[in-house]
Chain A
Amino acid sequence: MSPIPVGQIAPSQDADPSKKRRERWAIGIVAVLVAVLTFFEAHLAAVGGGVTFSSNIVIFALINLNVVFVVLLIFLVTRNVFKILLDRRRNILGAKLRSRLVLIFICFSLIPTMLLFIAATNITTTSIKSWIGSRVGQALTGAIEIARERLEQEARALSPPAGSAASALAGAEDPESFMRILEKTRATAPPGTALLFFDKDAEVARDGDLPAQVEAEILKRVKGIKGEALEKGAGTMIGDGVAAAWRRAPGGAIVVAARSLPPAEAARIREIAKAYDEYHQVRLLDDPIRASYVGVLILITLLIVFAASWMGIYLARQITVPVQLLAEGTEEVARGNLDVSLDYRSGDEFGTLVASFNRMTADLKASKGNLEETNASLTRTYDELRRRTQFIETILDSISTGVIVIDRHGRISMINKVAERLLLLPTDAAVGQMYRDVVQEDHYEAIRDLYREAGEAAGGQVERQVEIVVGEKRIAFRVSLTALRDDAGEYMGLVAAFDDLSQAMRLQRVLAWREVARRIAHDIRNPLTPIQLSTERMQRKYAAAHADDPVFAECTQAILSEVRTLKHLVEEFTRFARMPAPRIEEGNLPDEIRTVVETYRTSFPGIRWEFRQDGPPSVWFDPFQIRRAVTNLLDNAAAALGERGSVTVVCIHDEASGKARIEVADDGPGIPAGDRDRLFEPYFSRREGGTGLGLAIVSAIANDHGGVVRMRDNAPSGTVFEMVFPSRPPDKGKAVSAAPVVDDGRMEI
């Protein structure tokens, strides 16, 4: 048995097709043999005349063979029927249809066959009865009696010559005289008569010819003449084609006059006797004969029924096997196996159907392959697009510009995180919404005008600087609107880019203040020393002269005091204006901060100073500037608290993000909301005697370190200043994120 290829479905019940083919051939041959043998045996009666004993041996063998074949046929058909029933019970696909077809075939064959069997049986029985009926018996009996009478007449006609010969032979003593007497007597007898002279059961003399078997028959008859018949002295003998009369001669010898009948007449009489014998035999064997014929009919009936059953099985299989194959193949296809191929070849419609199914699965497989290939290509394209989209989104999220994309219908299709943060828009809620539903009502008119203007602009681009209030802050934006058009010039949407100008404007202000401070310092510092020297000289030269006038002393002292104040102010401005570039080096940041904190712990014992650190201590920074920034922050905290309170200083180094963070939190009264916008601007201070440069310097140091400084409210009260800067500069090997740490609701510089 050749292995079935993967995905190929062959008839399941025909696991071995050659075996099944052999079985079909066996059934067919057996059925034909049974039919032939049955026919031959059924017609033996017709050809029986020539059947010899050796032929009977052949018949014996054939009948046995026939029985064996019938049993074999019954076995094969029964086995197939049981197999179908078992398949049906096991719910094997196609078994129900097959059993139904077989049942129909059996019924269609059984009903007419049974009717035919009953009719044939009745006809046979009737024929046999009519054959052995009384009329036939009477006719045959009459015929045999007529034949006997005919022979008896012949025999009686021979009685006179036999008597005369017997009388003449009484005086004869030698064989010659016997012959003369017989010849003389035969001359007067009917033609064809033979005379025989027996003495002591032996033929003594004869005249006339007789067949040998007739002579033997006559001799037997003569020997049987005994007792009463012998006493009677005369009688007749009739037999197969012969008639004779005998007469006892004196001395106990017997003379027989015999004559053979003409062959044709003898043959007719022989046929009558044979028919008579057969009639009586048939009559005696009525039941066996009938049983024999019925047996043959049963055999033929069984043969027809089983042949029809087998034909039903065969035809049902012809129908159900391809149907079963198609059903199994369909199930396989439904399960997604498109490699299925039905192994069935036939020239009929089922063969065409199976071939079409195989072509269909092949086409489906090819289509599926194309689809999978297309899908893979699309997946690759999609992945590439997604990667690009993610790349673009990453870029858009990484840049400091807020970007919003609006489609042709005015629906927001994309917002980057910067735009989300700048405009305080939730991305998930905004994407897919109409832009007029998302923006604040105050901004709608301005944005709509820009929207319209961008759509109508010649280059499709409009750039404006606007100030809008976001939350509680008024933020200056540079807005750039670009209309998107396809190759055909069809409007596709709009890209809006928002740049927060607040930081730049602050830096510009800081730079301007630095320039102002430098000029002030330059213009004021120069006259201050002559003023101071001159005043001191005046005190030394004219103090004695105006000893009694306190005004002189007070005025000169006031001049010197104000000059010192101006010098201090000029010193601060100079320091602010001449902020040197940081000299960043690797150092222990917590130690530097702790040193500053310890200084303030000593100077302000009424305040509880707390210091915590987290993360590795090694950070790249300018120790001088950081100490100065922390000093300014602690100075502000101490000033805000007065005599009592607590200050918590935290130094955190987050290696994962590459950020160092310094937090200074106090539980003081906090900073009013109105002052927060200008908090880091130079010369802004609510403290008496303050120059307003402390937080500006902190902001400048943070910026010089590539970081930011933020302010937020402390809970439950107070303020938290947070300075964040990269723990390692980019040129020191380990990359750090340049993006500022953003925290909603925080003041960022």
Chain B
Amino acid sequence: MTAVRVVIAFFALALLGLQPVSSLAGPPFPAISDVSGTIRGGEARVRFTLRNAFPPEMVEALKSGIEITFKTNVEIERVYRRWFNRPMGQVLYTRSVRYDALSGVYRLHRDDGDELLPDVLAALDRMTRFEVVVPVTGDVEKGKPYRARVRTRLDKVGLSEPLRSIFFFSSLWDVETGWASGYLQTP
């Protein structure tokens, strides 16, 4: 029994020593802001801005040709004051950007089409300002409250194939926002 206790204590201390130091990393935390938009019959157009999503090392990585992909959840719901909100539609929107060293352009990939951007500032602007169309179900009543809820996370840092295998476990950066919401206008 003494041997078992000693072994357990040994592994407990080892696990304490293996606590991730990344948890000590500080802010700034990425966040979604300026959620707004309109909703009309069949669709909602949601605009929002992603802030603090690109720390300097991430920008440097982008310049080095590392592909960066964000996945964004957008949910539309009808808001009731004294009842549960009613979901009306949702969409998972993917946007990625990668620098093409040969062409010297930033290739922005969206669900609705690709775009070539001449510099990093334009690329960052495109990666942080969103306007997403969300198909909705149900009637949209004018003057009633409708709300969009948005959350974005870094999907994967795209590395070249050899490095992808080596850094399979390494996320390099953790970018994940909380849920942000904003009311939609009913024109």
Contact = CB atoms under 8 A, between A and B. Distances in A.
B25 interface: no
A238 B116 CA distance: 13
A736 interface: no
A281 B3 contact: no
Judged by DSSP, the binding face of A is helix
A282 B103 contact: no
Contacts of A48: 161-162, 164-165
A239 B163 contact: no
Interface in A51-94: 51, 56, 59-60, 63, 71, 75, 78-79, 82-83, 86
Given A224-B115, A224-B116, A238-B103, A79 B64 contact: no
Given A83-B3, A281-B163, A147 B102 contact: yes
A79 B63 CA distance: 50
B125 interface: no
A277 interface: yes
B131 interface: no
A44 B160 contact: no
Interface-centre pick from B64, B102, B104, B163 (highest chain A CB count, 10 A): B102
B66 A238 contact: no
Contacts of B163: 278, 281-282, 285, 289
B166 A44 contact: yes
Interface stretch (A21-29, A268-276, A386-394, A737-745): A268-276
Interface in A257-309: 269-270, 272-274, 276-278, 280-285, 288-289, 292
Interface stretch (B4-12, B44-52, B80-88, B145-153): B4-12
A82 B6 contact: yes
Interface in A591-616: none
B154 to A, nearest CB: 16
Interface string A403-415: 0000000000000
B166 A289 contact: yes
Interface string A132-163: 00000000000010011001000000000000
B8 to A, nearest CB: 10
B89 interface: no
Interface residues of B, number: 37
A277 B160 contact: yes
B26 to A, nearest CB: 19
B172 interface: yes
B16 to A, nearest CB: 15
Nearest to A238: B103
Nearest to A83: B3
A49 interface: yes
Contacts of A284: 57, 60-61, 64, 66
B170 to A, nearest CB: 6
Given A278-B160, A281-B66, A220 B115 contact: yes
A152 B82 CA distance: 66
Interface in B111-140: 114-118
A467 interface: no
Contacts of B104: 148
A276 B164 CA distance: 16
B10 A273 contact: no
B2 interface: yes
B10 A78 contact: yes
Nearest to B160: A278
B101 A144 contact: yes
B168 interface: yes
Contact of A285 (B11, B118, B167): B167
Contacts of A292: 166-167, 170
A45 B166 CA distance: 7
Contact of A281 (B100, B118, B160): B160
B65 A281 contact: yes
Contacts of A51: 161, 164-165
A199 interface: no
B36 to A, nearest CB: 26
Interface in B142-187: 159-170, 172
A268 to B, nearest CB: 12
Give the 6 A-B residue pairs with the shortest CB-CB distance, closest first: A280-B64, A277-B65, A48-B162, A273-B102, A44-B165, A224-B116
9 contacts: A44-B162, A78-B10, A82-B3, A86-B3, A147-B102, A220-B115, A221-B116, A272-B102, A273-B101
